A and B are shown apart, each in its own frame.
Chain A
Amino acid sequence: MAMEITQALLAAQSPDGQTRTVAEANLKQFQEQNLPQFLLSLSIELSNDQKPPESRRLAGIILKNSLDAKDSARKEHLTQQWVSVDPSIKFQIKESLLRTLGSSVAEARHTSSQVIAKVASIEIPRKEWQDLIGKLLGSVTQAFAPGSLKQATLETLGYVCEEVAPRDLEQDQVNAVLTAVVQGMTSAEPNSDVHLAAIRALYNALDFAQTNFENQIERNFIMKVVCETAVSKESAEIRQAAFECLVAIASIYYDYLEQYMQTLFNLTAEAVRGDEEPVALQAIEFWSTLAEEEMERQDDCVALDELNSPLLHFHFVDKALESLVPMLLETLLKQEEDQDQDDTVWNLSMAGGTCLGLVSKTVGDKVVPLVMPFVERNITKADWRSREAATFAFGSILEGPSVEKLSPLARSGFEFLLSAMKDQSSHVRDTTAWTLGRVFELVHRPVSGDPVINEKNLPGIMTVLLDSIRDVPNVAEKVCGSLYFLAQGYEDAGPASKALTPYYESMITALLSTADRAGISNVRLRASAYETLNEVVRCSYVPDTLNTTAQLLQEITRRVMHTVDLQVVSSDDREKQSDLQALLCGGLQVIIQKLGGSEGKSVILQMADEMMMVFLRVFGCRSATVHEEAMLAIGALAYVTGVDFAKYMPEFYKFLEMGLTNFEEYQVCSISVGVVGDICRALDDKILPYCDGIMTVLLKDLSNAMLNRSVKPPIFSSFGDIALAIGENFDKYLPYAAPMMQSASEMCMHLDTSDDDMVEYINQLRRGIFEAYSGMLQGFKNSKPEIMLPYAGSLVQFIEAVFKDHSSDDLVTKAAVAALGDLADALGGRIKELLVGSPFYDELLSECLLSDDDVLKETAGWAEALIQHILQS
């Protein structure tokens, strides 16, 4: 077998498709017939230095994939599978893996350390493989162990720390790990690979070091070693890793930093000014992290001021400000020639500007006088680097300081910024356009008494922006961003948004032609142009812009139609087509929503047929899935057309079902579920012919373990929508839907509420379940309310459980009280005994009646009146 598996592993990587397929099938067969033996063979393959590196590599990969997966359901399955393997075989596999750490082949060592960590992630939380740490430490501390073994072992320790949670290791194990790691970092150890592995392992182990950091002596020692490593002469890689540790320490152990701050400031300043870029970037990152940490603490101070033990807040950034800001300003001058071409570029100038932005958010007004002299000194200099850095500095500090402080600067700087849009350097123009966008986003307050943008300067601004949108693509993209924020400033501004009306048409024209110009060669610019277009429409003042928007609607509809006819040969073409359709359908959705709720409703109604046809053709472009954006737009359209949407249903239905069954792309599924609700409200009982299909799919979705859990609460809500729409006809679904609701209610009571994400999920689920009950109670109320009687008890129980658990939010409480009222309303005297036996409702309603939330108060009052009526009758 051993020989066979080597062959199979090699053949599975053959360039010949036929050979590959056969080999893959063989491996699969082996795996299915005898998994334990299969895994053991792989581990032996990996450990054997006589085997070719290719087969060992694949063996490692398959092992890893047999232990871990991204998908949580799959991972759970793999975990169970490993757990059930015979212990003696597991032991052999683990021994092989540990043996591989001493291999002379670096790649095999590396792969093995990853696999060991995966096994550890399953076993250590179960209190198995308790001697792993001991065994690893044995290799590191052994005086005569070869450097390669030490390096691999330290790497393994790091990975293990990454995989398991701090609560899963005993303190003495943590101590031992830290001791080993710190030893590996000291100069007593001659091998620099070991040093690097050690400092990286420390990075992963930091989470475990709480107790050690609380102890002054141990903390001093760890900090001393890390700081020494940060100036190690060995390699930039080692210094970079040491700074990464300092970044992590800044965020995990902020409370203990005070005594080291002077040292840390000096270290980071030296690195920023003199070290190689990767090291300098981490040194800047240290301050960015510190700034973020302090912002969070400021927020928490505000939120938690009633607690006795507020978080410590040392104002490190504030205290270092006078030296820190000049250091960051210097980095701004270290631009690269081509940095504007790449959105993800990360260099000294970017990191410095980003850090300066965070510093401004942390200290507010104080940063302004430290930065403005730099801006003034450099903004007119002859070399582009000075001018760009000056503008970048100004743009970076616009968030944090007060609008009062910034307005005068922005106002007096406008003229200059606008003229800089003609600067000969495209870097300067790029940054200037970005800065203008920041001013619009952060300093512009159109409804304030003295807005930065007013009728006097707006014409000049618009002239420059509409001109500069024709600049080179990177500048044009920033100009789109400026227009986006300029428009956004007028969102919800009522008649104040009329200010943009005179430019509405020219903005639309400019954005459309920018999108055309960008075409497929610059998808980022095209996306920015369309997205800005959406914002401009969304924030426009409809009475004035109705006609132009109606024309735009036709134009975009035409453009979507055009995408359908694009020639699609490759999957790449398909993706491009789909991306463009996403942008355009997004635009249609925005227009439908904007006009549908206002004077423009008739425009949407007139165009409904045409749009629907286009959406159906967009769906037709793909076979297995539906277009998420088109789906969203259809939901908006259904709401506007109301019952007339019925005529589209025969054709639309199959795509709706396709969306509802797409659990791989759960966003698509989720949006489709939302559209079911939109359609229920639009069609009312006209949705009946489609309900068998919809309910079948929704019920299947609920019991599908692979479906992302976030889709499940809206499915329950949609049960309510359907029941409300079709009334008594829901009776045939009730025997299927109600038990699902009951078991989900049960589940809510037993989920772990220590995790914030989980609490949020539970609350969404609760709300969905209550909305389902409400919709059903209301739907059956007039024809056969008694059909809900068997579920009354579990609903009341659920309401009680939610009431007694204090993790529920206001929305849940509201939904619970509404469901209680609906229950009383629908079933009346039939639930009298139930109510008498559940006195908690009185407390619940009294609590709600005292709430500040008017809606909750009114709902509670309504429910109370209904219950009183029952009890008195």
Chain B
Amino acid sequence: MAPPPDHRRPIKRVAISDQQRRRELALRVQADRRSDAQNRARQLASSVLSLGPVTEVEPELEQEQEMSDASDQSGGRTELDPVRAASLRGPEVRRWFATQLMLPEWMVDVPPLLDSDWYVFPRPSGKRCFVVSSNGTTVSRLRNGSILHRFPSSLPNGARTKDVSGPSSSYSILDCIFHEADETYYVIDMVCWRGYSLYDCTAEFRFFWLNSKLSETGASDPPSQYHRYRFNVVQIYECNLIGLQAAYLGQVSYVKDGLLFYNKHAHYQAGNTPLALVWKDNVCSQYVLDTDNQGQIPSQQQVVLELQNDGSLTTSDDPPVALGCLSRDMIAQYGLRVGNLVRVEVRDDSVKLVDGKLDLGDLQLVGKPNRSRAFADTYSKVLFQYAARRAPLRIEDLVASIQSNPSVENSQALDIEMEG
């Protein structure tokens, strides 16, 4: 029987050409990766480090603009987008950086599978920052985008020394807490290493990489001429009974400020995430309750919220959660504008819990927060602080959940407890 004409494919012949498909996919992936690699080198090396310092005092108007934009952008942004960063100037730098750190939610109930799926470590007290090393220099930037230090370090390409391994344009980004007392950067996460992004890697892998790579560099050595500050790795524990106890009670070289819990499977995600949690009590932190502008613990809980155009006050979550509202009179009285951050006092008599959600009711304005504040509080923080003054989540609860394999009832019980 004659075959069909050359160009005519019989309809019934199953046309699976897997190999061609794989070839094409592989080529596409390679092309994408090449452009990623070139973009990374292009953007970070030339832009992040050369961005000017942030002017500390800015006109009020600019800050307003900034706040509303920041909330617009927070959705859907998951990775450093340095093409964007390259064109940023002044206040935009702050906003940009502010959206890049992974921010833990506050632990208001115990997540399931705490012992198998989570790590725990004692959080150093200090300034949370990004440390970027590239092109022979190292820069640390605070969450609000301002530069903390610019210094030489033993991080890859972190100082102008002869012994450079790898292209000096490759950069590394560490997520750190700067601890003033011993002038040490405590590294709590690794975001990029020698130009390679770890964003899409699990916490398990990032911590593994952090531990094995940082020690190769000498960054943990004592300070020297080309290494201004020491970088220390924080000891990370499996969140079983032994690990939790070690993190909670163990001696560390820094002042503890609560415990951080990281879900092992979570990727590095910019912004607030429930896959990283912070918890504290009086044993592991000096700062359980929030302070006011003067650094004092107020008698009533105070929260920082953002004013919306309908008069409601919202958290910095995405999407924002409305917790209460201000009267028109008060808005007018204080000359507040949409997007302003306000410090308000929580009054017990007007607080309601509706369907497990907190409603602070009418709020008493206490004032405006520090200028350096870029964000309102998150919902989980408000809730944690609220509970901390009444029926806190205790270390015993964490221990119990590990022992009993936490279940749904457990978290419901906590919700109810908080009502009282």
Contacts and interface: CB of A to CB of B under 8 A. Distances in A.
A783 B43 CA distance: 17
Given A684-B195, A862-B83, A822 B42 contact: yes
A862 B196 contact: no
Interface residues of A, number: 84
A462 to B, nearest CB: 19
B265 interface: yes
Given A437-B14, A724-B38, A771-B38, A825 B265 contact: no
A530 B27 CA distance: 21
Interface string B1-12: 111110011111
Nearest to B13: A343
A865 B86 contact: yes
A782 B135 contact: yes
B167 A528 contact: no
B16 A778 contact: no
B149 interface: no
A858 B83 contact: yes
A781 B18 contact: no
A36 interface: no
A365 interface: no
A535 interface: yes
A684 B12 contact: no
A636 interface: yes
Contacts of A779: 167, 169
B295 interface: no
A788 interface: no
A642 B42 contact: no
B68 interface: no
A326 interface: no
Interface stretch (A147-155, A211-219, A301-309, A351-359): A351-359
Interface string A317-361: 000000000000000000010000011111100110110110000
Contact of B22 (A395, A481, A586): A586
A158 interface: no
Contacts of B83: 855, 858-859, 862
A216 to B, nearest CB: 30
B412 to A, nearest CB: 26
B283 interface: no
B14 A481 contact: yes
A861 B26 contact: no
Contacts of B19: 582, 586, 629
A99 interface: no
A89 B18 CA distance: 53
A865 B87 contact: yes
B46 interface: yes
Contacts of B30: 635, 674, 677-678
Interface string A559-593: 00000000000000000000000100010011001
Contacts of A865: 86-87
A534 B10 CA distance: 24
Contacts of B168: 727, 782-783
Contacts of A478: 14
B167 A725 contact: yes
- Residue from A343, A642, A825 having most chain B Cβ neighbours under 10 A: A825
Interface stretch (A165-173, A174-182, A366-374, A597-605): A597-605
B151 interface: no
A583 to B, nearest CB: 9
B182 interface: no
Interface string B177-213: 0000000000000000011100011101100000000
B22 A632 contact: yes
Contacts of A434: 12, 14
Interface string A672-700: 00100110010011000000000000000
B86 A534 contact: no
A626 B386 CA distance: 67
A862 B11 contact: no
Interface in A645-684: 667, 671, 674, 677-678, 681, 684
B77 interface: no
A350 B37 contact: no
Contact of B87 (A357, A636, A862): A862
Given A346-B2, A599-B202, A781-B45, A684 B11 contact: no
A437 B87 CA distance: 51
Contact of B4 (A351, A725, A781): A351
A781 B201 CA distance: 29
A104 B140 CA distance: 94
A720 interface: yes
A532 interface: yes
A243 to B, nearest CB: 11
Nearest to A717: B34
A477 interface: yes
B413 interface: no
A197 interface: no
A771 B165 CA distance: 23
B59 interface: no
A781 B170 CA distance: 11
Contact of A602 (B16, B26, B33, B204): B204
Contacts of B45: 778, 781-782
Nearest to B264: A599
B328 interface: no
Nearest to A535: B18
B165 to A, nearest CB: 6
Nearest to B4: A346
Contacts of A344: 3-4, 10, 13
B166 interface: yes
Interface in A113-163: none
A342 B165 CA distance: 60
Nearest to A355: B11
B27 A674 contact: yes
B116 to A, nearest CB: 15
Nearest to A336: B1
A531 B167 contact: no
B348 to A, nearest CB: 42
Contacts of B265: 599
A60 interface: no
A103 interface: no
A537 B378 CA distance: 40
Contacts of A720: 34, 38
A281 B1 CA distance: 12
A390 to B, nearest CB: 15
Contacts of A336: 1
B41 interface: yes
A797 B90 CA distance: 35
A721 B34 contact: yes
B167 A346 contact: no
Contacts of B41: 724, 778
Nearest to A350: B10
Given A589-B22, A601-B201, A778 B38 contact: yes
A107 to B, nearest CB: 23
A414 to B, nearest CB: 20
A818 B194 contact: no
B249 to A, nearest CB: 31
B160 to A, nearest CB: 10
Contacts of B16: 481, 484, 528, 531-532, 535
11 contacts: A344-B4, A344-B13, A346-B4, A350-B12, A530-B18, A532-B16, A590-B22, A685-B167, A782-B135, A818-B42, A822-B42
Given A288-B8, A346-B2, A535-B18, 9 more contacts: A281-B2, A345-B10, A395-B12, A593-B29, A635-B30, A674-B30, A717-B34, A781-B45, A781-B169
Interface of A: 278, 281, 285, 288, 336, 342-347, 350-351, 353-354, 356-357, 392, 395-396, 431, 434, 437, 477-478, 480-481, 484, 528, 530-532, 534-535, 582, 586, 589-590, 593, 597, 599, 601-602, 629, 632, 635-636, 639, 642-643, 667, 671, 674, 677-678, 681, 684-685, 717, 720-721, 724-727, 771, 774-775, 778-779, 781-783, 818, 821-822, 825, 855, 858-859, 861-862, 865-866
